[in-house]
Amino acid sequence: MIFDGKGGELDYVACWYKKAADYIVDLPINCAFVSTNSICQGQQVYPMWKNLMDSGIKIDFAHRTFIWDSEANIKAHVHCVIIGFSRNGKEKCKLYDNGAVLLTNNINGYLVAAPNIFVEKRRLPLSDVPVVIKGFQPTDNGYLILNDEEKADLLSKEPQAEKWIRPFITAKEYLHGKTRWCLWLVGISPNELNQLKSIKERVVNCREWRNQQVITGDAYKLRDIPTLMRPNSKFKECPYIVLPLHTGETRKYIPFGFSDNGSIPGNSVSIVPEATMYHFGVLCSNVHMAWMRTVCGRIKSDFRYASDIVYNNFPWCNPTPEQKAKIEKTAQMILDARAMYPDCSLADLYDEAVMPPELRKAHQLNDRAVMEAYGFWGKLNSESECVAELMEMYRELTNK
């Protein structure tokens, strides 16, 4: 009711901002709240701050995300922001971050010194780049998924089943170098399935389980295709870039990467089929990471890389052939540096405390190549300035 039914996924704290904004109509009153930083991230920015700013609210000062510890024996790390706002506004706003203060003409809903721009969900990319698709949610009660022991046991009984077993990638397997497997039975004939008794038993159990679920649910609707996790006409059997949906905030770079071994993606990753080395280089760059950190949602403090908010709205550069070739070269250097440490998982390699110098150097060279393609190199001195430029590009591309 407070947001007239347009609150979407807003946290409860947003109501305090809205009520305060309503109380100070036509009054020279300044307000300020300490609140969770979620209201300045991801899908919450549009329904909250567009509503307030369209009504005349202006952010006068803000302190970007900081950790507020409780005094309890068991510490509760709360990620907070401080936001002061009014209707009369101030000519110059103050934006605080890590002990520094920036004087600016405007602070937007993402707590960036930039115009009031609101990034909304988008079904397809704003730029001419490959489309992201979601991984498969099995909805199978575990009957189509195998761990190492289950795979070995199944193949010891039916070695001919090997061609129907594929690597299964979730964020956990991808980031931590673990292995898991799935039954990928696309195209299997009834005759061959009947000969593979162990697989047939799993398919029968999957069908029975789905048939027992709530009639309106996903699982029940899939009861007549028990050989499949679910249909997905957009999935192509080709190499793709893996985008883990959730990663820790301490990483400077989300470790995106290629998968070309016939792996099947789970629902905790998204994928970019038919992506090139150029796309990989831009996605791994500090430019894209700055955009991601600003507009993505969070789970606690961890990044939530939702393609409909982050990837689809990202303003891509228009490189010259020489600039594109340079990005492709530095992107390959990142992969080569990772390959120097085959005993390490991506989680190991992207731990800021122990990142190998070769990998860090490769990322730095890639950052420069991408920034040159955007025209940012030698011009911008901070991540917030980079985001402000990207938001201007976003506004031009969307005519907002």
Q: How far is CA 346 from CA 13, 217, 341, in A?
A: 36, 36, 10
75: helix, coil or strand?
A: coil
The one-letter amino acid code at 220 reads Y
The rounded distance, in Å, linking the Cα atoms of 399 and 393 is: 10
Most confident of 37-46, 70-79, 348-357: 348-357
What's the whole-number mean pLDDT along residues 34-50?
88
Instruction: With a cut of 80, say whether residue 390 has pLDDT above it.
Output: yes
Which segments within 70-216 are labelled E, that is strand? Answer: 77-86, 93-97, 100-104, 133-134, 145-146, 165-169, 181-183
Beta bridge partners of 61: 84, 94
303: helix, coil or strand?
A: strand
**Which tokens sit at 232?**
């997905």
For residue 184, which of 128, 136, 252, 149 has the smallest C-alpha distance? 136
What's the whole-number mean pLDDT along residues 199-208?
97
Instruction: With a cut of 70, say whether residue 328 has pLDDT above it.
Output: yes
Say if CB 211 and CB 217 are below 8 A apart: no
Does 250 or 49 have the greater pLDDT score?
49
Confidence bin at 363 (pLDDT 50/70/90): very high
Percent of the chain with pLDDT over 90: 71
Instruction: With a cut of 90, say whether residue 292 has pLDDT above it.
Output: yes
Instruction: With a cut of 80, say whether residue 8 has pLDDT above it.
Output: no
Mean pLDDT is lowest, of 9-23, 65-79, 105-119, 139-153, for 65-79
Per-residue model confidence (pLDDT) at position 343: 95
What's the whole-number mean pLDDT along residues 230-241?
84
User: Which residue carries 């991984």 as its tokens?
Assistant: 135
Per-residue model confidence (pLDDT) at position 1: 55
Instruction: With a cut of 70, say whether residue 192 has pLDDT above it.
Output: yes
The angle at the Cα of 234, spanning 134 to 121, to the nearest 5 degrees, equals 50
Per-residue model confidence (pLDDT) at position 72: 58
Instruction: With a cut of 80, say whether residue 168 has pLDDT above it.
Output: yes
Residues 329-341 have pLDDT tens digits of 999 999 999 999 9
Per-residue model confidence (pLDDT) at position 67: 82
Q: Phi and psi of 378, rounded to 5°? A: 80, -5
